[in-house]
Amino acid sequence: MNITYFENNMEKPAILGGTPVRDSKIYYGRQCIGEDDIKAVADVLRGPFITCGPKVTEVEKELAQYTGAKHAVVVSNGTAALHCACIAAGIGPGDEVITTPITFAASANCALYCGARPVFADIDPETYNIDPKSIREHITPATKAIVAVDFTGQAVKIKEIRAICDEYGLIFIEDAAHAIGTKYDGKQVGSLADMTCFSFHPVKTITSGEGGAITTNNEELYRKLVLAHAHGITRDDAEMEEAPHEGIWYYEQISLGYNYRMTDFQAALLISQLGKLDSFIERRKQIVCQYNEAFKDLQGIILQKEIEESDTCRHLYIIRLDLDKLTCTRRQFFDAMSAENVQCQIHYVPVYWFPHYKRLGYAKGLCPKAEEIYKGIMSIPLYPMMSDKDVTDVIKAVKKLVAYYIKK
């Protein structure tokens, strides 16, 4: 067969004037809000407490129950959750915090907020999660904590990271912004690290608009988290340092904290969303199965490997372009997907490539595997409200472009 035969028979990409696989744009992620969610929020807005009220307490109980952790503290967003976790861990100037470069900047920024230095360990090139071997190579006497990110929703190698933390006396902070609903060795993410941080941003598996939470089994860390997210203020007589309890108005600020509180109407939305989490997980898993099946033997595409211990509720579905087998660049493929009306996203630019990090002395080349993986990755649409047609359209678009760009 010669090249002309292929070209005549191939569907032309929309970016080159062909017909797009669909008429309307589909995005890589979006929230799933129903009338019941809206009612839950409206009920709180009509009531007496829109912040510091009973819904916050209720959602904290539910989150602790769901994850199997002893305690949960809800906060204004996932970034605040990471900041509070670093404060509770006692991270400060002179400390180092090991994390992954393939993450949202907040996973590293939380160390900077505390005056500490983020240190980037390289990733496993098959799972894209932080590699415990690389963590070991980056430990110094200044290392205080590990912020391990369950990237795309897949749990990190928790057992190995726990062992490293125990060996070196480090605090294990799991950044599970992508991973609510994921289990590791049969246990819910949220109950396994010293502290686990969640995000409830709209593209995440469940949302409260903006929102976050930290779960922990440790009483001392819990007490510090409560203080960190609400001005360092206590109303508990037992914790007060100066005055005896003068009256119900009296409180004491006993440490430096922030206002990272979640409102009651956000908490109501989160309670409502938690009620649907199992159905969201099921639908996400169905879509992931369809994608895996469709792409498993597709030359030109590499799929993310799953470790056996992780029963993953995937937040992101990543295809990695095998650029040696394709005639296009990642940018060309990405733009061609957009022209097919499938809007992808890239998760993530290695954090230390950003100008802010460059100014702090970080340079390209720190984590060669992460940098190599970054060149080819692309997140395709994944959210529970995708219809069967949406899913087949995405598959069609990927296959159409791979067929066009594959080296013959």
Structural element, H or E, at residue 333: helix 330-339
Cβ burial of 8 (10 Å; 0-12, 13-18, 19+) is exposed
The reply on whether position 149 binds ligand PLP by CB under 6 A is yes
Contacts to ligand PLP from residues 359-398, by CB under 6 A: none
CB within 8 A of 379, min separation 6: which ones? 28, 29, 316, 317, 318, 344, 345, 346, 347
CB atoms near residue 279 (< 10 Å): 11
Omega before 348 within 30 of 0, i.e. cis = yes
Nearer to ligand PLP, 180 or 230 (CB): 180
Among 265, 206, 254, smallest CA distance to 78 is for 206
The dihedral sign for the CA sequence 195, 201, 204, 205: positive
Q: Among 28, 66, 104, 404, which residue sits at the site for ligand PLP (rule: CB under 6 A)?
A: 104
Window contacting ligand PLP (CB under 6 A); options: 104-112, 135-143, 292-300, 318-326 = 104-112
Nearer to ligand PLP, 348 or 405 (CB): 348
Number of residues forming the site for ligand PLP (CB under 6 A): 14
Nearer to ligand PLP, 172 or 405 (CB): 172
The reply on whether position 201 binds ligand PLP by CB under 6 A is yes
Window contacting ligand PLP (CB under 6 A); options: 14-22, 72-80, 272-280, 333-341 = 72-80
The reply on whether position 118 binds ligand PLP by CB under 6 A is no
Cβ burial of 101 (10 Å; 0-12, 13-18, 19+) is buried
Residue 404: CB minimum distance to ligand PLP, A = 32
Among 334, 346, 329, 345, smallest CA distance to 398 is for 334
Residue 20: CB minimum distance to ligand PLP, A = 29
Q: Among 13, 20, 29, 78, which residue sits at the site for ligand PLP (rule: CB under 6 A)?
A: 78
The reply on whether position 196 binds ligand PLP by CB under 6 A is no
Residue 201: CB minimum distance to ligand PLP, A = 4
Nearer to ligand PLP, 107 or 272 (CB): 107
Please answer whether residues 22 and 393 qualify as being in contact, where contact means their C-beta atoms are separated by less than 8 angstroms: yes
Q: DSSP assignment, residue 247? A: -
- How far apart, in whole angstroms, are the C-alpha atoms of residue 107 and residue 279? 28
Q: Among 67, 79, 152, 217, which residue sits at the site for ligand PLP (rule: CB under 6 A)?
A: 79
Residue 24: CB minimum distance to ligand PLP, A = 25
Nearer to ligand PLP, 149 or 195 (CB): 149
Polymer length in residues for the chain:
408
The reply on whether position 83 binds ligand PLP by CB under 6 A is no
Residue 208's alpha-carbon distances to 28, 267, 359, in angstroms, are 19, 7, 34
Residue 334's alpha-carbon distances to 18, 328, 329, 373, in angstroms, are 16, 10, 9, 15
Residue 4: CB minimum distance to ligand PLP, A = 46
Nearer to ligand PLP, 171 or 402 (CB): 171
Residue 84: CB minimum distance to ligand PLP, A = 12
User: What character string, x for contact with ligand PLP (CB under 6 A) and - otherwise, covers 161-190?
Assistant: --------------x-xx------------
- How far apart, in whole angstroms, are the C-alpha atoms of residue 235 and residue 249? 9
3-state helix, strand, coil in the chain (%, to 5): 40, 15, 40
Q: Among 77, 207, 208, 310, which residue sits at the site for ligand PLP (rule: CB under 6 A)?
A: 77
Q: Among 29, 101, 181, 212, which residue sits at the site for ligand PLP (rule: CB under 6 A)?
A: 212
- How far apart, in whole angstroms, are the C-alpha atoms of residue 80 and residue 212? 7
Residue 106: CB minimum distance to ligand PLP, A = 4
Residues making contact with ligand PLP (CB under 6 A): 77-79, 103-104, 106-107, 149, 175, 177-178, 199, 201, 212
